[in-house]
């Protein structure tokens, strides 16, 4: 089945530095990637939607200059947290759409998540 590989699984960084999270679709082409943020015991909050080759669409309240999303190819999307601060500490998850699924495709494939801790 479809697999999305997300790396790193855990990262600790110092306040003020930048961190890049990668999501790769291993056996399919991901035309659309969704990036979520999740706090403990809470739901997934959609941060942005990216389509291959175009700029990401950010949800209201999400700082686009802080959370840089790049979707340069059909198999790779990245989220860079710039100038990270402790309040950016969270669990980040990506989710991809398979372009072969057609218009009425089903659920999306999720990465395994990245736990970011900013100290």
Partner 1 sequence: AQTVTQSQPEMSVQEAETVTLSCTYDTSESDYYLFWYKQPPSRQMILVIRQEAYKQQNATENRFSVNFQKAAKSFSLKISDSQLGDAAMYFCAYREVEYGNKLVFGAGTILRVKS
Which of 7, 22, 29, 44 binds partner 1 (CB under 8 A)? It is: 44
Which of 43, 65, 86, 87 binds partner 1 (CB under 8 A)? It is: 43
Query: Min. distance of Cβ 16 from partner 1 in angstroms?
Result: 27
Q: Based on the shown chain and the rule CB under 8 A, indicate whether residue 62 belongs to the binding site for partner 1.
A: no
- 3 near 26, Cβ under 8 Å? yes
Name the segment binding partner 1 (CB under 8 A); options: 10-18, 26-34, 64-72, 77-85. Answer: 26-34
């Amino acid at each position: 089945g479809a697999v999305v590989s997300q790396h790193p699984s855990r990262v600790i960084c110092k306040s003020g530095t930048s961190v890049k999270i990668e999501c790769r679709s291993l056996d399919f082409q991901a035309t659309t990637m969704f990036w979520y943020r999740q706090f403990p015991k809470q739901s997934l909050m959609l941060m942005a939607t990216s389509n291959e080759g175009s700029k990401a669409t950010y949800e209201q309240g999400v700082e686009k200059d802080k959370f840089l999303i790049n979707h340069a190819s059909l198999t790779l999307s990245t989220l860079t947290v710039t100038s990270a601060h402790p309040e950016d500490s969270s669990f980040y998850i990506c989710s991809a759409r398979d372009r072969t699924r057609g218009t009425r495709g089903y659920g999306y494939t999720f990465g395994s998540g990245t736990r970011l801790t900013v100290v």
